[in-house]
Chain A
């Protein structure tokens, strides 16, 4: 579950809680595809407050799990989609809990003045 949310994120949170495996897709600045047991692209660079979409193109389930446990998609089934708003700047290492050799990075830069 998304722990850190900005102004727009409670909507995403509510959708994630109620919509189960197929939440409505909200606008995001970047999409990471999971294909053949790899996160692509990595690293992906966004700004604080940005939403990132993760799409599982494999038929195997995967997870999008932060090494520091700050976010976790839990089981993301084949063809499943999950979104997360990165509220704070930082470098986030994440992996697939089912296949931990699948490792990737999201770099979150400080929010720009225009976005605030």
Chain B
């Protein structure tokens, strides 16, 4: 990454985080409170354990800082979801480290795979994180009056960002059984809409999921993959991609290619972080929290 690319990106990243700051009170007390029957949870993403390039020579350290910050929240989240790319190369040793570190979270853990977690095969991912209620990787659950759907859009051999017919059928049947007024939260690694297809930042068959989501009053779609906060709204559906715990990537179209972005060392912790999400009366408030303010 050349320096001029990086400068453009930093300007953009600053804007992205400022947006979140001004809308969610990033610097208020750390707890994500669940009052009046609401629910709060935390999203982390793209930890890339095993990455050791100059953009972040210590991804283990930045994940540990993230875990420490979440464990220090006075009001613990209902759960922590990791939206994928837990590892960099899907090696069993990288998954062992991930299990060991994420196992120290005080809150229950939900882990979805990213494409880096299934290089060659999903076997190592499943060995580490397969759930009894999700033999194929995708599943749904109800908690705190909210219906959660966890999707996997990284299993296709030659297309990144594809759900496949079986999973689409599951989503449509699952949503058909929900009331229109029930708040819906969808979680997946790759963004479900065409965020920037030129770099593969899209889900090829995501439109069918979005069509099934349109009848609901309030939908929140959380993803990772692009290592930066991008928000987007389509009618009742609010999309938000998350920061990485490992390294940032350039804003769409601002570099020759995506990939790790070098920022000055004193900037790194400001563009990495985690996200708390609070849902009350169907309204989601999203607070993105950098590892260093």
Contacts and interface: CB of A to CB of B under 8 A. Distances in A.
Interface of A: 36-38, 58-61, 63, 67, 72, 74-75, 77-79, 95, 97-101
A111 to B, nearest CB: 29
B260 A75 contact: no
Interface of B: 1, 50-55, 88-91, 115-116, 119-120, 157-160, 200, 256-260
A78 B1 CA distance: 13
Q: Is the interface of A mostly helix, strand, loop or mixed?
A: loop
Given A60-B259, A61-B51, A77-B89, 5 more contacts: A58-B259, A74-B120, A75-B89, A77-B53, A99-B160
25 contacts: A37-B257, A58-B257, A59-B53, A59-B55, A60-B259, A63-B119, A67-B158, A72-B120, A74-B119, A74-B120, A75-B91, A75-B116, A75-B120, A77-B50, A77-B52, A77-B88, A77-B89, A78-B260, A79-B53, A95-B158, A97-B119, A97-B157, A98-B119, A98-B160, A101-B200
B259 A37 contact: yes
Contacts of B89: 61, 74-75, 77
A36 B257 CA distance: 5
Contacts of B256: 36-37
Contacts of B54: 59
Majority DSSP secondary structure for residues of B touching A: loop
Contacts of B90: 75
B116 A98 contact: yes
Which of the listed residues A59, A79, A95 has the most CB atoms from chain B within 10 Å of its own CB? A59
A61 B91 CA distance: 13
B244 to A, nearest CB: 13
Contacts of A58: 257, 259
B257 A61 contact: no
A9 B246 CA distance: 38
B200 A99 contact: yes
A100 B160 contact: yes
A60 B115 contact: no
A41 B1 CA distance: 21
Contacts of B157: 97
B156 to A, nearest CB: 8
Closest 10 CB pairs of A and B: A75-B89, A60-B259, A37-B257, A59-B53, A36-B257, A36-B256, A59-B260, A75-B119, A74-B120, A78-B53
Contacts of B160: 98-100
Nearest to A67: B158
A90 B260 CA distance: 35
A59 B200 contact: no
A101 to B, nearest CB: 6
